[in-house]
Amino acid sequence: PPPLPNPGLTFSSRPNDTSSCTSGSTGNVLWDGSVYLLRYLLSSAGEELHRTKVEGREVLELGSGTGFMAVHMAETLGSYVTATDLPYCAELVQTTIGANRMGGRVKFVELDWSTREKPILGCDVVVAADCVWIESLVGPFLRTFKHYLEASVEQVGIIAHQVRGGGGEIEDRIVRFFKEGGWECTRDGWVDEEYPESRLCVFIIQRC
């Protein structure tokens, strides 16, 4: 994987308690998309987005997993982050928050994309990394992301995505979903020089 943006921060994981194929354990490990998104926002390609929409703002993260991206956004990008995921991730995220003394800048809220009733979570910007590759979760994820995006202050969403397989169906589905809802969805294929072989990209979603 690419170098960590801030190696001084730590995170908890359960590398022996996961499967690349099941939705019930994907939050136990760190995925490359989280590192990629942070490095993108710190690069010249993402500098304006970082400076005007993320730095010092209230950020809602979907699919937080280990809490890695939440504490890095708080420490490195100056954000205040609400990290969300399923209940089984709560212990990992809370451990990561505590280990980095981020209790004042990062909090965890349980969130299930498949439920109709969702907690009220105010934010300026919505972000997610490497969340849309299990087919059955794509629809619930996109609907949940849009739900909070519509209520956000800046009306800006950022999704880091790793292309898997050769068809591009999920990537096309992301763009189509938001465009049909009246949003502009652009794909930035920024190549991380430290990790050029990855198939990662960033989708920027904004109100048209």
**Residue positions counted in the chain:** 208
pLDDT at 132: 83
Dihedral (CA of 153, 143, 145, 189) sign = negative
pLDDT at 148: 98
Q: Is the pLDDT of residue 123 over 50?
A: yes
70 within 8 A of 79, measured Cβ to Cβ: no
Closest to 82 (Cα-Cα) out of 124, 118, 113: 124
Q: Provide CATH code, domain 27-207.
A: 3.40.50.150
pLDDT at 202: 94
CA–CA separation, 38 and 76 (whole Å): 9
- Digit-coded pLDDT (tens) for 169-198: 899 999 999 999 999 999 998 888 877 777
Stated pTM of the model:
0.89
Domain ranges of the chain: 27-207
pLDDT at 135: 85
- Selected residue with higher pLDDT from 8 and 129: 129
Q: Give the Cβ contact number of residue 101 at 10 Å.
A: 10
- Digit-coded pLDDT (tens) for 13-47: 554 454 444 445 554 566 688 889 999 999 999 99
